[in-house]
Amino acid sequence: MSYMVQNVCALCVFLVLIFSCKPTSSTNPEISPTEGIDVVIVGMLKALEEDPKNATIWFQKANYLYERNQYDQALKDIDSAIKIDPKNIEFKHLKADIQLDYYQSREALTTLQDILKTEPNRIPTLLKLSEFQHILKDYQSSISTVNEIIRLQSFNAEAFFMLGMNFREIGELDKARSSFQRAVELDADLTDAWIILGNIYEADKNPIAKEYYDNAIRSNSESIEALHSKAFYLQNNQDVLGAIQLYRQINSLNPQYEDAYLNTGILYLSIDSLLQAKEHFKILSQINPANPFAFYYHGLTEEYLGNTESAQRMYETAIRLKPDYGKAKEALTLLQKS
């Protein structure tokens, strides 16, 4: 749950500045012509040279660096933005995000709590605080924060979703189920809540799980997680062709999604469609040559096809990639004995 609003137009302006502004002399080492320097950062620095008190540019630079895991400089830049505009809560939310990912969890919580000292009823900040507390496994504190949100705003779907997440972590599955159900009643587009409800019912072997996965897909027809959840459910409930169709849909949305190729290959293998299985394992090994499962299952398929030399090479590759791969070792041993 992110409340950060990206200012794409500002970034575009920075890119234009790179090519439209005349070169100016500068003592700023970040602007010196260095091979391979990030052109977006160059544009931002040029803009800051002309307008060093522009808090929005400092914020955009901090966010850009944060997204690239350059946390130290991102913190310095967001502090510059906050110094210029200390009342901007969006800036402080970004600072908290950076601190959390930079392993400064205590400081991140303090940043959010400082906001709440002056605005104790601010829902987005309370939601972010509950999320951080959940991430840090302080589930009871997160529940308390969520309950405060619900007291202030009883129809907040994200609050009930977060409540469900906490109850799920502490093993209160009935309360978790009830919370997620309330969340989707308030907002039917909460795809993750539908998926988790499906997971809970599937674990109970309740066939209603399929309906929840269907609702997840209805809420977002391009959600890879929703499609995969339903496909895996069908795979585990003997609907091989239905699962294959969904995995194909996933790969049409994301041709690099490895699990769909692996599971499709395994499903084809289960119905003795060996050539189709082999093709999917081959594609998977091309996408990720370091995936040992691709080579193990490719080897298994080659063995079933009678191509023992090829099967042996595949098993050996799988073992080289994953030395503790027991199935591959066993398969290779049996093949060499035959």
Per-residue model confidence as pLDDT tens digits over 159-184 = 999 999 999 999 999 999 999 999 99
pLDDT in tens, 197-254: 999 999 999 999 999 999 999 999 999 999 999 999 999 999 999 999 999 999 999 9
CB atoms within 10 A of CB 151: 10
The mean per-residue pLDDT over the stretch 267-275 comes to 97
Give the count of domains, the chain: 2
How buried is residue 20: exposed, middle or buried, by Cβ count under 10 Å (0-12/13-18/19+)? exposed
Domain C-terminal end among 117, 140, 165:
117
Reply yes or no on whether the pLDDT at 308 is more than 90. yes
Q: What is the mean pLDDT of residues 134-154?
A: 98
Give me the pLDDT at residue 37, please. Answer: 63
pLDDT tens-digit profile of 193-206?
A: 999 999 999 999 99
Q: Which domain holds residue 294?
A: 255-338
Using the 3D structure, point to which of 54, 84, 117 is the last residue of a domain: 117
Which of 82, 101, 117 finishes a domain? 117
With 90 as the cut, is the pLDDT of residue 334 above it? yes
Structure tokens at 327: 């199935």
CATH number, position 273: 1.25.40.10
List of long-range contacts for 82-89, beta carbons under 8 Å, 24+ apart: 82/55, 84/53, 84/54, 84/55, 84/58, 85/55, 88/55, 88/59, 89/115, 89/119, 89/122, 89/124, 89/125
What's the rounded mean pLDDT across residues 64-73? 97
pLDDT at residue 147 tops 70: yes
* Residue 168 counted as domain residue: no
Q: Confidence band (pLDDT; 50, 70, 90) for 30?
A: very low
In a domain, 194, yes or no: no
Q: In this structure, which amino acid lies at residue 214?
A: D
User: Is the pLDDT at 25 greater than 80, yes or no?
Assistant: no
Q: Which two tokens stand for residue 160?
A: 């009930």
259: in domain: yes
pLDDT at residue 151 greater than cutoff 80: yes
**What's the predicted TM-score (pTM) here?**
0.82
DSSP annotation string for 186-231: H-TT-HHHHHHHHHHHHHTT-TTHHHHHHHHHHH-TT-HHHHHHHH
